[in-house]
Structure 1
Protein backbone atom coordinates (compact mmCIF):
# COMPACT_ATOMS: atom_id res chain seq x y z
CA UNK A 1 0.00 0.00 0.00
CA UNK A 2 1.68 3.20 -1.14
CA UNK A 3 -0.40 5.31 1.23
CA UNK A 4 0.69 5.12 4.87
CA UNK A 5 -1.51 5.88 7.84
CA UNK A 6 0.42 8.92 9.21
CA UNK A 7 0.42 10.52 5.76
CA UNK A 8 -3.28 9.81 5.28
CA UNK A 9 -4.19 11.37 8.62
CA UNK A 10 -2.01 14.36 7.81
CA UNK A 11 -3.85 14.78 4.50
CA UNK A 12 -7.26 14.71 6.18
CA UNK A 13 -5.96 17.10 8.85
CA UNK A 14 -5.23 19.60 6.09
CA UNK A 15 -8.69 19.33 4.54
CA UNK A 16 -7.94 16.84 1.75
CA UNK A 17 -9.67 13.53 1.09
CA UNK A 18 -8.85 10.45 -0.97
CA UNK A 19 -10.94 9.44 -3.97
CA UNK A 20 -10.71 7.28 -7.06
CA UNK A 21 -12.37 8.07 -10.39
CA UNK A 22 -13.85 4.58 -10.43
CA UNK A 23 -13.52 1.19 -8.79
CA UNK A 24 -10.21 0.30 -10.44
CA UNK A 25 -8.45 3.65 -10.91
CA UNK A 26 -5.62 5.12 -8.85
CA UNK A 27 -6.35 7.18 -5.77
CA UNK A 28 -5.80 10.92 -5.72
CA UNK A 29 -5.98 13.60 -3.07
CA UNK A 30 -8.83 16.09 -3.57
CA UNK A 31 -10.04 19.25 -1.92
CA UNK A 32 -12.94 21.62 -2.52
CA UNK A 33 -13.62 25.35 -2.61
CA UNK A 34 -16.74 24.72 -0.54
CA UNK A 35 -16.97 22.33 2.38
CA UNK A 36 -20.24 20.89 3.67
CA UNK A 37 -20.77 20.62 7.42
CA UNK A 38 -23.45 18.88 9.45
CA UNK A 39 -24.31 21.14 12.39
CA UNK A 40 -23.75 19.77 15.86
CA UNK A 41 -25.84 22.52 17.48
CA UNK A 42 -29.53 23.37 17.32
CA UNK A 43 -29.31 23.96 13.56
CA UNK A 44 -29.34 20.18 13.11
CA UNK A 45 -32.84 19.10 12.15
CA UNK A 46 -34.78 16.16 10.81
CA UNK A 47 -38.41 15.42 9.86
CA UNK A 48 -41.08 14.56 12.39
CA UNK A 49 -41.70 11.33 10.49
CA UNK A 50 -38.12 10.27 11.20
CA UNK A 51 -38.54 11.15 14.86
CA UNK A 52 -41.44 8.68 14.96
CA UNK A 53 -39.25 5.96 13.42
CA UNK A 54 -36.56 6.58 16.04
CA UNK A 55 -39.11 6.48 18.86
CA UNK A 56 -40.40 3.12 17.59
CA UNK A 57 -36.96 1.58 18.33
CA UNK A 58 -37.02 -0.31 15.03
CA UNK A 59 -33.23 -0.03 14.77
CA UNK A 60 -30.36 -0.65 17.13
CA UNK A 61 -27.04 1.17 16.78
CA UNK A 62 -23.56 -0.32 16.68
CA UNK A 63 -20.10 1.09 16.02
CA UNK A 64 -17.74 -1.09 13.96
CA UNK A 65 -20.13 -4.01 14.26
CA UNK A 66 -19.35 -4.95 10.66
CA UNK A 67 -16.98 -2.30 9.33
CA UNK A 68 -16.17 -4.10 6.10
CA UNK A 69 -19.86 -4.55 5.28
CA UNK A 70 -20.46 -0.82 5.72
CA UNK A 71 -17.54 0.02 3.43
CA UNK A 72 -18.86 -2.47 0.87
CA UNK A 73 -22.35 -0.97 1.17
CA UNK A 74 -20.99 2.52 0.59
CA UNK A 75 -19.04 1.31 -2.46
CA UNK A 76 -21.93 -0.66 -3.95
CA UNK A 77 -23.31 1.74 -6.57
CA UNK A 78 -23.24 2.10 -10.33
CA UNK A 79 -20.21 4.39 -10.23
CA UNK A 80 -18.11 4.51 -7.09
CA UNK A 81 -15.14 6.53 -5.91
CA UNK A 82 -14.39 3.92 -3.22
CA UNK A 83 -11.93 1.73 -5.09
CA UNK A 84 -10.69 -1.65 -3.89
CA UNK A 85 -7.47 0.04 -2.74
CA UNK A 86 -9.41 2.64 -0.75
CA UNK A 87 -11.52 -0.09 0.86
CA UNK A 88 -8.32 -1.67 2.16
CA UNK A 89 -7.03 1.71 3.34
CA UNK A 90 -10.24 2.25 5.32
CA UNK A 91 -9.78 -1.16 6.92
CA UNK A 92 -6.20 -0.29 7.90
CA UNK A 93 -7.43 3.01 9.36
CA UNK A 94 -10.14 1.18 11.29
CA UNK A 95 -7.65 -1.26 12.78
CA UNK A 96 -5.45 1.69 13.77
CA UNK A 97 -8.35 3.46 15.52
CA UNK A 98 -8.96 6.26 12.99
CA UNK A 99 -11.90 5.05 10.87
CA UNK A 100 -15.32 4.03 12.14
CA UNK A 101 -18.59 2.66 10.85
CA UNK A 102 -21.67 3.95 12.62
CA UNK A 103 -24.38 1.40 11.90
CA UNK A 104 -28.09 0.74 12.27
CA UNK A 105 -29.33 -2.82 12.53
CA UNK A 106 -32.78 -4.37 12.31
CA UNK A 107 -32.44 -7.61 14.17
CA UNK A 108 -29.44 -9.34 12.64
CA UNK A 109 -29.65 -7.40 9.37
CA UNK A 110 -27.45 -4.40 8.65
CA UNK A 111 -29.92 -1.62 7.81
CA UNK A 112 -27.55 1.22 6.98
CA UNK A 113 -24.45 3.03 8.03
CA UNK A 114 -22.08 5.95 7.85
CA UNK A 115 -18.35 5.63 7.25
CA UNK A 116 -16.02 8.26 8.65
CA UNK A 117 -12.62 9.22 10.04
CA UNK A 118 -12.13 10.82 13.46
CA UNK A 119 -9.17 13.17 13.98
CA UNK A 120 -9.15 15.07 17.26
CA UNK A 121 -12.62 16.56 17.69
CA UNK A 122 -13.36 16.41 13.95
CA UNK A 123 -15.41 13.65 12.36
CA UNK A 124 -14.97 13.47 8.59
CA UNK A 125 -17.88 11.64 7.00
CA UNK A 126 -16.80 9.70 3.94
CA UNK A 127 -19.98 8.00 2.75
CA UNK A 128 -23.30 6.50 3.82
CA UNK A 129 -25.70 3.85 2.53
CA UNK A 130 -28.81 1.89 3.45
CA UNK A 131 -30.25 -1.55 2.82
CA UNK A 132 -33.50 -0.87 4.72
CA UNK A 133 -35.44 2.39 4.26
CA UNK A 134 -34.66 4.96 6.99
CA UNK A 135 -31.57 2.99 8.04
CA UNK A 136 -29.04 5.66 7.06
CA UNK A 137 -31.27 8.52 8.25
CA UNK A 138 -31.55 7.04 11.72
CA UNK A 139 -27.79 6.48 11.67
CA UNK A 140 -27.29 10.18 10.89
CA UNK A 141 -29.43 11.34 13.82
CA UNK A 142 -27.83 8.91 16.26
CA UNK A 143 -24.34 9.76 15.01
CA UNK A 144 -24.92 13.46 15.65
CA UNK A 145 -26.13 12.58 19.16
CA UNK A 146 -23.01 10.49 19.69
CA UNK A 147 -20.68 13.24 18.45
CA UNK A 148 -22.36 15.74 20.75
CA UNK A 149 -21.96 13.41 23.75
CA UNK A 150 -18.27 12.97 22.96
CA UNK A 151 -17.75 16.75 22.60
CA UNK A 152 -16.85 16.72 18.91
CA UNK A 153 -16.58 20.19 17.37
CA UNK A 154 -16.84 19.48 13.65
CA UNK A 155 -18.80 17.07 11.45
CA UNK A 156 -17.41 17.41 7.94
CA UNK A 157 -19.64 15.97 5.22
CA UNK A 158 -17.21 17.15 2.49
CA UNK A 159 -19.86 17.75 -0.19
CA UNK A 160 -23.54 18.50 0.28
CA UNK A 161 -26.61 17.17 -1.49
CA UNK A 162 -30.39 17.55 -1.02
CA UNK A 163 -30.45 14.58 1.37
CA UNK A 164 -27.89 16.14 3.73
CA UNK A 165 -29.48 19.58 3.45
CA UNK A 166 -32.62 18.13 5.02
CA UNK A 167 -30.52 17.63 8.16
CA UNK A 168 -29.32 21.23 8.10
CA UNK A 169 -26.09 20.72 6.15
CA UNK A 170 -24.52 23.97 4.98
CA UNK A 171 -21.39 24.98 3.09
CA UNK A 172 -18.53 27.27 4.05
CA UNK A 173 -15.48 28.53 2.17
CA UNK A 174 -12.02 27.00 2.48
CA UNK A 175 -10.57 29.68 4.76
CA UNK A 176 -13.33 29.37 7.34
CA UNK A 177 -13.26 25.59 7.06
CA UNK A 178 -9.51 25.46 7.68
CA UNK A 179 -9.90 27.59 10.80
CA UNK A 180 -12.63 25.33 12.18
CA UNK A 181 -10.72 22.17 11.22
CA UNK A 182 -7.48 23.23 12.90
CA UNK A 183 -9.31 24.13 16.12
CA UNK A 184 -11.11 20.77 16.08
CA UNK A 185 -8.14 18.52 15.36
CA UNK A 186 -6.07 20.25 18.04
CA UNK A 187 -8.51 19.07 20.71
CA UNK A 188 -8.23 15.69 22.34
CA UNK A 189 -11.39 13.74 21.72
CA UNK A 190 -12.25 10.06 21.43
CA UNK A 191 -14.92 8.60 19.22
CA UNK A 192 -15.37 6.01 21.97
CA UNK A 193 -17.12 3.08 20.26
CA UNK A 194 -17.64 1.27 23.56
CA UNK A 195 -20.42 3.52 24.84
CA UNK A 196 -23.08 2.27 22.41
Structure 2
Protein backbone atom coordinates (compact mmCIF):
# COMPACT_ATOMS: atom_id res chain seq x y z
CA UNK A 1 0.00 0.00 0.00
CA UNK A 2 1.25 3.42 -0.95
CA UNK A 3 2.43 5.23 2.18
CA UNK A 4 1.52 8.52 0.45
CA UNK A 5 -2.21 7.81 0.75
CA UNK A 6 -3.88 11.19 1.27
CA UNK A 7 -7.40 12.34 2.18
CA UNK A 8 -7.84 13.43 -1.44
CA UNK A 9 -6.99 9.94 -2.73
CA UNK A 10 -9.36 8.49 -0.15
CA UNK A 11 -12.18 10.63 -1.55
CA UNK A 12 -11.33 9.39 -5.04
CA UNK A 13 -11.68 5.84 -3.75
CA UNK A 14 -15.16 6.60 -2.38
CA UNK A 15 -16.11 8.19 -5.69
CA UNK A 16 -15.19 4.90 -7.36
CA UNK A 17 -17.26 2.83 -4.94
CA UNK A 18 -14.52 1.41 -2.74
CA UNK A 19 -13.79 1.94 0.94
CA UNK A 20 -10.86 1.14 3.26
CA UNK A 21 -10.44 -1.16 6.23
CA UNK A 22 -7.55 -2.48 8.30
CA UNK A 23 -7.06 -5.83 10.00
CA UNK A 24 -6.52 -4.32 13.43
CA UNK A 25 -5.85 -1.12 15.35
CA UNK A 26 -2.07 -1.44 14.95
CA UNK A 27 -2.05 -2.57 11.31
CA UNK A 28 -0.65 0.16 9.06
CA UNK A 29 -1.73 -1.69 5.90
CA UNK A 30 -5.07 -0.82 4.34
CA UNK A 31 -7.17 -3.06 2.12
CA UNK A 32 -9.97 -1.92 -0.14
CA UNK A 33 -13.48 -3.29 -0.50
CA UNK A 34 -16.15 -3.13 -3.20
CA UNK A 35 -18.63 -5.77 -1.99
CA UNK A 36 -20.85 -7.71 -4.37
CA UNK A 37 -23.83 -6.73 -2.19
CA UNK A 38 -24.08 -3.28 -0.64
CA UNK A 39 -26.18 -2.01 2.24
CA UNK A 40 -28.10 1.24 1.73
CA UNK A 41 -30.77 3.27 3.47
CA UNK A 42 -33.54 4.74 1.35
CA UNK A 43 -33.78 8.00 3.24
CA UNK A 44 -37.57 8.21 3.05
CA UNK A 45 -37.90 4.67 4.36
CA UNK A 46 -36.08 4.93 7.69
CA UNK A 47 -38.10 2.95 10.24
CA UNK A 48 -38.54 4.38 13.73
CA UNK A 49 -40.19 1.75 15.92
CA UNK A 50 -42.61 2.67 18.68
CA UNK A 51 -39.97 1.92 21.31
CA UNK A 52 -37.38 4.06 19.53
CA UNK A 53 -39.92 6.86 19.13
CA UNK A 54 -40.57 6.73 22.88
CA UNK A 55 -36.83 6.91 23.51
CA UNK A 56 -36.53 9.97 21.26
CA UNK A 57 -39.55 11.68 22.86
CA UNK A 58 -38.22 11.04 26.35
CA UNK A 59 -35.64 13.78 25.97
CA UNK A 60 -33.07 11.55 27.66
CA UNK A 61 -30.43 12.35 25.07
CA UNK A 62 -28.88 15.60 23.88
CA UNK A 63 -27.99 15.59 20.18
CA UNK A 64 -25.29 17.57 18.40
CA UNK A 65 -23.50 17.57 15.07
CA UNK A 66 -19.72 17.78 14.54
CA UNK A 67 -19.13 18.92 18.11
CA UNK A 68 -16.84 15.96 18.93
CA UNK A 69 -15.91 14.10 15.76
CA UNK A 70 -12.77 12.70 17.37
CA UNK A 71 -14.75 11.41 20.34
CA UNK A 72 -17.19 9.59 18.06
CA UNK A 73 -14.37 8.16 15.99
CA UNK A 74 -12.64 6.87 19.12
CA UNK A 75 -15.93 5.55 20.50
CA UNK A 76 -16.41 3.50 17.33
CA UNK A 77 -12.88 2.11 17.65
CA UNK A 78 -13.31 1.32 21.34
CA UNK A 79 -13.76 -2.42 21.01
CA UNK A 80 -11.56 -5.48 21.31
CA UNK A 81 -11.27 -5.90 17.56
CA UNK A 82 -11.54 -2.87 15.28
CA UNK A 83 -10.87 -2.08 11.64
CA UNK A 84 -10.19 1.56 12.57
CA UNK A 85 -6.41 1.53 12.66
CA UNK A 86 -4.24 4.42 13.79
CA UNK A 87 -3.60 5.23 10.13
CA UNK A 88 -7.28 5.20 9.21
CA UNK A 89 -8.02 7.36 12.26
CA UNK A 90 -5.53 9.97 11.04
CA UNK A 91 -7.08 9.97 7.56
CA UNK A 92 -10.63 10.52 8.83
CA UNK A 93 -9.54 13.29 11.16
CA UNK A 94 -7.95 14.95 8.13
CA UNK A 95 -11.16 14.48 6.12
CA UNK A 96 -13.11 16.05 8.97
CA UNK A 97 -10.84 19.09 8.97
CA UNK A 98 -11.50 19.41 5.22
CA UNK A 99 -15.27 19.26 5.74
CA UNK A 100 -15.77 15.80 4.23
CA UNK A 101 -16.29 13.73 7.39
CA UNK A 102 -19.03 14.38 9.90
CA UNK A 103 -20.48 13.02 13.11
CA UNK A 104 -23.68 12.99 15.10
CA UNK A 105 -23.11 12.93 18.87
CA UNK A 106 -25.52 11.59 21.48
CA UNK A 107 -24.97 12.68 25.07
CA UNK A 108 -26.57 11.89 28.39
CA UNK A 109 -25.73 14.04 31.38
CA UNK A 110 -22.94 15.63 29.37
CA UNK A 111 -21.22 12.32 28.64
CA UNK A 112 -20.83 11.03 25.08
CA UNK A 113 -22.87 7.80 25.02
CA UNK A 114 -23.31 7.18 21.30
CA UNK A 115 -22.74 8.47 17.82
CA UNK A 116 -22.24 7.81 14.14
CA UNK A 117 -19.79 9.18 11.58
CA UNK A 118 -19.22 9.03 7.87
CA UNK A 119 -17.93 10.75 4.75
CA UNK A 120 -19.77 13.15 2.45
CA UNK A 121 -19.11 13.63 -1.23
CA UNK A 122 -21.63 15.58 -3.34
CA UNK A 123 -25.01 13.86 -2.80
CA UNK A 124 -23.59 10.72 -1.19
CA UNK A 125 -23.06 9.91 2.46
CA UNK A 126 -20.82 6.94 3.22
CA UNK A 127 -21.62 5.65 6.68
CA UNK A 128 -18.52 4.35 8.40
CA UNK A 129 -19.28 3.30 11.95
CA UNK A 130 -21.41 3.93 15.01
CA UNK A 131 -21.28 3.09 18.69
CA UNK A 132 -23.52 2.98 21.72
CA UNK A 133 -22.78 3.07 25.44
CA UNK A 134 -26.46 3.28 26.38
CA UNK A 135 -29.50 1.47 25.01
CA UNK A 136 -30.65 2.87 21.65
CA UNK A 137 -28.03 5.64 21.57
CA UNK A 138 -26.71 4.59 18.15
CA UNK A 139 -30.28 4.22 16.78
CA UNK A 140 -31.10 7.73 17.96
CA UNK A 141 -27.92 9.00 16.26
CA UNK A 142 -28.98 7.32 13.00
CA UNK A 143 -32.46 8.84 13.19
CA UNK A 144 -31.00 12.34 13.51
CA UNK A 145 -28.45 11.61 10.79
CA UNK A 146 -31.10 10.45 8.31
CA UNK A 147 -33.14 13.59 9.00
CA UNK A 148 -30.09 15.77 8.37
CA UNK A 149 -29.29 13.95 5.12
CA UNK A 150 -32.86 14.37 3.85
CA UNK A 151 -32.85 18.06 4.75
CA UNK A 152 -29.44 18.50 3.11
CA UNK A 153 -30.47 17.05 -0.24
CA UNK A 154 -28.53 13.78 -0.11
CA UNK A 155 -29.76 10.90 -2.26
CA UNK A 156 -27.48 8.03 -1.20
CA UNK A 157 -26.79 6.69 2.29
CA UNK A 158 -24.28 3.86 1.93
CA UNK A 159 -24.07 1.55 4.98
CA UNK A 160 -21.41 -0.66 3.32
CA UNK A 161 -22.81 -3.94 4.71
CA UNK A 162 -26.31 -4.91 5.79
CA UNK A 163 -26.60 -6.09 9.39
CA UNK A 164 -29.74 -7.28 11.20
CA UNK A 165 -29.55 -4.11 13.32
CA UNK A 166 -29.62 -1.88 10.22
CA UNK A 167 -32.26 -4.01 8.48
CA UNK A 168 -34.66 -3.43 11.38
CA UNK A 169 -34.25 0.30 10.78
CA UNK A 170 -35.10 -0.03 7.10
CA UNK A 171 -31.75 -0.62 5.40
CA UNK A 172 -31.64 -3.06 2.51
CA UNK A 173 -29.15 -4.75 0.24
CA UNK A 174 -28.60 -3.97 -3.42
CA UNK A 175 -26.23 -5.38 -6.02
CA UNK A 176 -22.84 -3.90 -6.76
CA UNK A 177 -24.05 -2.74 -10.18
CA UNK A 178 -27.13 -1.07 -8.67
CA UNK A 179 -24.96 0.59 -6.04
CA UNK A 180 -22.54 1.99 -8.60
CA UNK A 181 -25.46 3.36 -10.63
CA UNK A 182 -26.91 5.08 -7.55
CA UNK A 183 -23.47 6.39 -6.61
CA UNK A 184 -22.97 7.90 -10.07
CA UNK A 185 -26.33 9.67 -9.77
CA UNK A 186 -25.52 10.94 -6.27
CA UNK A 187 -22.19 12.36 -7.43
CA UNK A 188 -24.10 14.54 -9.89
CA UNK A 189 -26.10 16.10 -7.04
CA UNK A 190 -25.20 19.03 -4.83
CA UNK A 191 -25.96 18.45 -1.15
CA UNK A 192 -25.01 20.22 2.04
CA UNK A 193 -24.55 18.42 5.36
CA UNK A 194 -24.74 21.77 7.14
CA UNK A 195 -27.93 23.00 5.48
CA UNK A 196 -29.70 22.00 8.67
CA UNK A 197 -28.46 24.67 11.06
CA UNK A 198 -29.80 23.12 14.26
CA UNK A 199 -30.79 19.67 15.44
CA UNK A 200 -34.58 19.34 15.37
CA UNK A 201 -36.70 18.77 18.44
CA UNK A 202 -37.95 15.20 19.00
CA UNK A 203 -41.41 16.23 17.78
CA UNK A 204 -40.00 17.77 14.59
CA UNK A 205 -37.81 14.75 13.90
CA UNK A 206 -40.64 12.25 14.34
CA UNK A 207 -43.10 14.29 12.28
CA UNK A 208 -40.68 14.67 9.38
CA UNK A 209 -39.79 10.99 9.44
CA UNK A 210 -43.48 10.01 9.42
CA UNK A 211 -44.11 12.32 6.46
CA UNK A 212 -41.11 10.88 4.59
CA UNK A 213 -42.42 7.34 5.11
CA UNK A 214 -45.83 8.39 3.81
CA UNK A 215 -44.14 9.76 0.69
CA UNK A 216 -42.23 6.53 0.29
CA UNK A 217 -45.32 4.35 0.67
CA UNK A 218 -47.25 6.49 -1.81
CA UNK A 219 -44.59 6.45 -4.51
CA UNK A 220 -45.41 3.69 -7.03
CA UNK A 221 -41.82 3.75 -8.35
CA UNK A 222 -40.47 2.35 -5.08
Deviations 1:10-66 (A, max 9, x none): 10011100100111121122110010001201x221210110111112112111111
- Over alpha carbons, which structure has the higher Rg? 2
Distance in 2, matches of 1:36 and 1:3, equals: 26
Give the structure 1 partner of residue 16 of structure 2.
14
Task: Please name the residue that 2:36 is paired with.
Answer: 33
Unmatched segments (≥5 aa) in structure 2:
199-222
Partner of 2:52 in structure 1?
50
How big is each residue's C-alpha offset from its partner over 1:71-120, in whole Å with a ceiling of 9 and x where there is no partner?
11111111110001101111000000000111111231112100100111
Contact 1:64 1:193 in 2 (8 A): no
Paired position in structure 2 for 1:77: 79
Q: Pairwise mapping of residues 25-174 of structure 1 onto structure 2 (< 5 A)?
A: 25=27, 26-41=29-44, 43-174=45-176
Matched residues, number = 195
Partners of 1:194 and 1:39 in 2: CA distance: 19
After TM superposition, the score normalised by the length of structure 1 is 0.95
Counterpart for residue 184 of structure 1: 186
With normalisation by structure 2, the TM-score equals 0.85
SS at 2:43's partner residue?
coil
Give the gaps of 5 or more residues in structure 1. Answer: none
Q: Root-mean-square deviation (CA), in Å?
A: 1.3
- Work out whether residues 39 and 160 of structure 2, in 8 Å CA contact, stay in contact via their aligned partners in 1: yes
Dislocated runs of 4+, deviation >4 Å: none
Q: 111-120 or 99-108: which moved more?
A: 99-108
Separation of aligned partners in 2, 1:84 and 1:194 = 31
Which residue does the alignment assign to 2:205? none
Confirm or deny: 8 A CA contact 1:74 1:129 kept in the other structure. Answer: yes
